[in-house]
Structure 1
Amino acid sequence: MISFELSPQQKQIKELVHWFAKHEIRPIAMEADRLGKVPDEWLNKVNKMGIHLNTSSFSGGGRTAKTGEKNGKKSEKEANRMAVIATEELAWGCPAITLSLPGAGLGGPPIQSSGTPEQKERFLSIFTKDEPRWGAYALTEPEAGSDVSGIRTTARKVDGGYVLNGQKIFITNGARASWTVVFATIDPNMGRAGHRAFVVEKGTPGFSCTRLVHKMGLRANETAELLFENCFVPQENLLGGEELYSTSGNKPSGFQVAMKTFDSTRPIVAAMAIGIARAAYEYTVDLVRKEYPKQGRLYYEAAELLAEAEQDIDAARLLTWEAAWKADIGQPNAMEAAICKAVAGKMALDVCSKCLELLGPIGLDGHLVEKLYRDVKVFDIFEGTQQIQRLVTARRLYAPYGVHV
């Protein structure tokens, strides 16, 4: 049974990451937002500290969020739970900077779950203290966002590999990534069965970044548009190899590889939304206590709204922990991952909106809550919108009754 009491190791990691967020991330957050980038010297510094962000773990200082044990001893028992605990603290500091931390990022889970042993070693071993490096995950296209089954980037089989043609948009760290997990189809008429996943390395001929996207929120984080023009990808970069996509038995398609990734990353995104909401809530509580008359009507109205916000934050956190816990014990968690993502995204948007209203002119341009309000909107969209999460949930609720949604 899941326990909501943090173990000593979990508490230690939580405190360590919160210290990092408070003293290393928060002091540069507003300036990074204004400049639209995280300073290179800062990224070099944290990389030399051994701090990397992967969506299945947060590691730093000789310890890993997978276990809380020294020297990175791996125990999958708490990997996902520790990842969501750590990510909440990082996002409390700044979600854009969190997404900019060196590491495999969203590209890590598909390689970890579907890659061959050689691919895991080749692509996941590059994240060291020598220099900051990033991985990326490219699924979204201009005509395939929420409905990823409709991707149109093509992969044509040729001698020694595949040739990719197409476009990807809204790719986190896409321009600077050393490699990108790219989803394409060998035949659009095959639907999901035709999907394949490839690891495309930076500098591959025919693979380019066409532009960086200017955004309302998460301004400090790099978001890229990628183009593939007769881009040759060698056979050894087909994620999992040909055997993974065999039509015999219950072999997955690239679509299923992508969906499995979301089971790991949606709780991470939910945890980030919770961290944003908590940051806005705590900032607003402090200012309300200082600025509002203690016995006035406005004080009690504000206190009621903030109490409701705290309840919503706690509820979303428990849903997120449940989704992570099920992943850690090896149980299917697709429905729980969808639920926590849907609840946390909407909750964080509502909490930030309430906080902005309570602060009034104090919370306008140039203040933390205004920035968080801009940052939080995308957490209700990426990794699947509210509508997609409800669809995923409904399908799993009704499947035992033979009803197809």
Structure 2
Amino acid sequence: MINLEVPETLATVVSQAHRAAAEILRPGSRRNDRAEHTRPPELDVLGPLADHLSAFGPGGGPKPANKAENRNGSNLTSVLGIMEMCWGDAGLLLSLPRLGLGNAAIASVANEEQAKRFAGKWAAMAITEPDCGSDSAAIRTTAALDGDEYVLDGEKIFVTSGERADVVVVWATLDKSKGRAAIKSFVVEKGTPGFELVRLEHKLGIRASDTAHFRLENVRVPRENLLGDPEIDVRRGFAGVMQTFDNTRPLVAAMAVGVARAALDETRRLLTDAGLTIDYDRAGPRQPAAVAAFIALEADYEASYLLTLEAAWMADNARPNSLPASMAKAKAGRCATDITLRCIELVGSLGYSEDSLLEKWARDAKIMDIFEGTQQVQQLIVARRLLGKSSTELK
């Protein structure tokens, strides 16, 4: 199998993340899964690690001066750290302060003043609405300028870390008649009048993380809390806010890669305990069926891993990564669900029981094929990029 070595400059971060995953996240994984909506006690000791990783957050750091210069920077560091942490527990990774998707949005499009003002804040991101899921351009939450404030009205669902975060990055439209170009993102402070937490969702997986439903009624935010350009440019569309996804999709892909590797590691142990030998020098047909299937799953994992690193590396080196980001998200999201379910099948009742974490990882993995753009949306993006066609032309 092809294997890409971790750069020496990043080895310390990866080692620290793996140690935290093995010694803190993994031991409490089952307990936190059962105690949904209860704040995980691990967050008290993981704060310093979260601050360390957030310093390497996506979109930050200097870019290479020219394309000939190779840089392994903040994006690659983030995905490698996230892979290790999700090997421990994906739900807890999503619960770490200041590592939210809203923080990635701020890092992607905030100006210098905003970046300083919101530094140290834990930011969730609110995009999905009851009538708007994959098609984020169909957002109905409105933002109307009134003097020095924007007035937001609407509803947001499935907001990851919405209850625990300090601020929420809310996507809203300045003018519904202008379509995608009018979609902007606003930083809303928790406790702002009219910003109401409706409920916390009960979920299939990632139960250590809170997922919130908000209602916004006459929520007033300072005009300087709008991220990016306040002007509506119909020629540019909503590229500004969509730029966030080019940074966050590799992070979700990294989550999927970490969970898939956890399942493979546990399956390898159980197969070995059962007396099976995994021999990479023998052809598949000459091996036990379970071993041949396991090796095929590992190959799928390696493809996801390498695509994820490529998308992050391109971002670090100031190269357009929209296509690689969607390819990595699509491949890793699908592989995580396939690998975790297949691992349960390979080990039988040992994987279906709560005595093992395999069944939990299978539940956790499914969301990684859905949030930050579903599998189907990623395939559409890839098709548009490869064929050079618009979304309208591909309908």
Question: Structures share a fold, TM > 0.5?
Answer: yes
Aligned residue for 1:7? 7
Q: Structure 1 vs Structure 2: percent identity of aligned residues?
A: 41
Per-residue CA deviations over 1:99-153 (Å, capped at 9, x if unaligned) read 1111141112222222122211111234xxxxxxx21011111111110000000
Q: Is the 8 A contact 2:53 2:78 kept in 1?
A: no
Paired position in structure 2 for 1:342: 330
Deviations 1:357-383 (A, max 9, x none): 112111124120000000001111111
Q: C-alpha displacement at 1:53, in angstroms?
A: 5.4
Question: Is residue 380 of structure 2 the alignment partner of residue 397 of structure 1?
Answer: no
Opposite residue 131 of structure 2, the aligned amino acid is E
Q: In structure 2, what is the Cα distance between the partners aligned to 1:149 and 1:216?
A: 27
Letter matched to residue 232 of structure 1: R
| Deviation sequence 1:227-285 (CA, Å, 0-9, x none) | 10111112121223xxx1334697x55x3233111101111111110110110011011
Instruction: List structure 1 segments (4+ residues) > 6 angstroms apart after TM superposition.
Output: 400-403
Q: Deviations over 1:169-225 (max 9, x none)?
A: 110001121111111012212111111211000000000110000001111110000
Please tell me the residue identity of whatever aligns with 1:91: C
Q: Match for residue 129 of structure 1? A: none
Q: Among residues 375, 380, 385, which one is paired with 2:364 in the alignment?
A: 375
Structure 1 contact 152–188 (Cα < 8 Å) conserved:
yes
Q: Counterpart of 2:124?
A: 136
Counterpart of 1:289 in structure 2 is 272
- The match for 1:124 among 115, 119, 122 is 119
Q: Is 1:262 aligned with 2:272? A: no
Paired residue total: 377
Pairing partner for 2:318 from 330, 340, 344: 330
Amino acid across the alignment from 1:245: P
1:110 aligns with 2:105: yes
Mapped to 2, the partners of 1:213 and 1:338 lie a distance apart of: 27
For residues 32 and 41 of structure 2, the distance between their equivalents in structure 1, rounded to whole angstroms, comes to 12
Q: How does 1:6-45 map to 2 (within 5 A)?
A: 6-37=6-37, 39-45=39-45
Report the counterpart of residue 72 of structure 1 in structure 2.
none
| Letter of the 1:116 counterpart | N
Q: Determine the C-alpha separation between the residues in 1 that align with 2:214 and 2:112.
A: 28
Structure 2 regions of 5+ residues with no counterpart? Answer: 63-69, 279-284
CA distance in 2, matches of 1:290, 1:299: 17
Change beyond 3 A, Cα 1:122–1:76: farther
Pairwise CA distance, 1:292: 4.6
**Aligned residues of 1:155 and 1:165 also touching (Cα < 8 A):** yes
Q: Is the 8 A contact 1:66 1:80 kept in 2?
A: no
* Aligned-pair Cα RMSD in Å: 2.7
> Which ranges of structure 1 fall in alignment gaps of 5 or more residues?
59-64, 68-74, 127-133
1:269 partner letter: V
Q: Distance in 2 between matches of 1:89 and 1:344?
A: 15
Q: What's the TM-score once normalised by structure 1's chain length?
A: 0.86
Residue 16 of structure 1, CA deviation: 1.8
After superposition, the Cα gap between the structure-2 partners of 1:285 and 1:10, relative to the gap in structure 1 and judged at 3 Å, is same
**2:27 aligns to what SS in structure 1?**
helix
1:209 aligns with 2:197: yes
Cα 1:245–1:224, aligned 2, differ >3 Å: closer, same or farther?
same
| 3-state secondary structure, aligned to 1:137 | strand
CA separation of 1:212 and 1:327: change in aligned 2, threshold 3 A: same
SS of aligned partner of 1:380: coil
Which of 69, 81, 88 aligns to 1:86? It is 81
